[in-house]
Amino acid sequence: MRDNEPPPLPSDLPPPLPLRSPVTPAPQPVRPVVVVPVAQPAAPAPSPAPKAAPAPSGKLWWVWCLAGAFACLVLFVVCLNCNPATTATDRIWGKVQGAVAQQIDPEAHPLLAWGANFLFNKYLALPYAQMKAIGFTFAFIACLLLPAGCSLLSAALGHPIFMFGGAPGGWRSTWQSYGLHRFICDAGSLLVIALALMVPMEPTTAASVLIVFLPAIRLGSMITLWVLLARAHGFGPVRIIFLGLPSIFFVTIFSGFLAFILALYFYAYLVARSF
């Protein structure tokens, strides 16, 4: 029955519904993200790297020891040849012979020479030999025994003392430092003495130069010695204060007094040479 019904007319159909545009939601405000810093645990401070110990040095220790010994020996020879007593005796005896030779006939000069030799051997030979022996003893003690002996003893006894606080430079560095110290001291003294003896100046001026510069050279050489030892063995302030400064003070006083005696010795030689 339903199949026989006529199809509905277009006017009978309901009107189509209007299309609605899709409603888009309003954008929501974006909240700013606040980053809260998280406290990180403090990293431990890096421990300082251990200070590297000085490497053993002193490869040329024997060179500086020989140089110091040679300078000390040359100073001894110079002091030995500048004996003021024998120099004054030679000058005075020569002037006496010259004055007598001018007053006598030239044909009698051989007789004068024989008489002068006889008198010298009779009355002056023994005192002259004694003056030479005294000069040798003084030069040996003041220029060879005390300086070289003190340096050798200080190096031999000082290095074991340095080892209590550590002496990584080795014994060669110790001996090299003392050899260089001896060379600076004696070579500088030789330079000042040569200046005083060779440059024409008054004996008092030369003596002033010696009195001022000989102790100054010894002070400078002692400071140089402890600078070399401190660099070779890494001395800290404790050893520098309790070992270095007292050593510089007392040794400089003793060495300065010895330099003053040497200055007077060479001053006497300059006076004797001026006769």
Tally of domains within the chain: 1
More reliable by pLDDT, 231 or 43? 231
Asked whether residue 227 is domain-assigned, the answer is yes
Tell me whether residue 14 is exposed, middle or buried, using C-beta atoms within 10 angstroms of its C-beta: 0 to 12, 13 to 18, 19 or more: exposed
Which tens digits make up the pLDDT trace of 207-245?
999 999 999 999 999 999 999 999 988 888 888 899 889
pLDDT for 236 = 86
**For the chain, percent of residues with pLDDT exceeding 70:** 79
Asked whether residue 50 is domain-assigned, the answer is no
Least confident of 34-38, 49-53, 61-65: 49-53
Decide if pLDDT at 261 tops 50: yes
Asked whether 36 and 152 are in contact (CB, 8 A), the reply is no
Asked whether residue 186 is domain-assigned, the answer is yes
pLDDT for 54 = 47
Asked whether residue 182 is domain-assigned, the answer is yes
CA distances to 15, 17, 214 from 7, rounded to whole Å, are 17, 22, 146
**For the chain, percent of residues with pLDDT exceeding 90:** 52
Interval 51-58 mean pLDDT: 54
> Which residue in the block uniquely carries the two structure tokens 């909240």?
31
Asked whether residue 58 is domain-assigned, the answer is no
Asked whether residue 200 is domain-assigned, the answer is yes
Decide if pLDDT at 46 tops 60: no
> What rounded mean pLDDT belongs to the chain?
83
Interval 24-50 mean pLDDT: 54
Which tens digits make up the pLDDT trace of 131-184?
999 999 999 999 999 999 999 999 999 888 888 777 788 889 999 999 999 999
Asked whether 150 and 181 are in contact (CB, 8 A), the reply is no
Please write down the long-range contacts of 123-132, taking CB distance under 8 Å and 24 or more positions apart.
124/89, 124/93, 128/86, 128/89, 131/83, 131/85, 131/86, 131/89, 132/83, 132/86
pLDDT class of 24 with cuts at 50, 70, 90: low
Asked whether residue 118 is domain-assigned, the answer is no
The two structure tokens encoding residue 218:
């010894």
Q: Can you give the residue range of the structural domain that contains 223?
A: 71-87+129-273
More reliable by pLDDT, 220 or 20? 220
Residue 48 corresponds to which amino acid? Answer: P
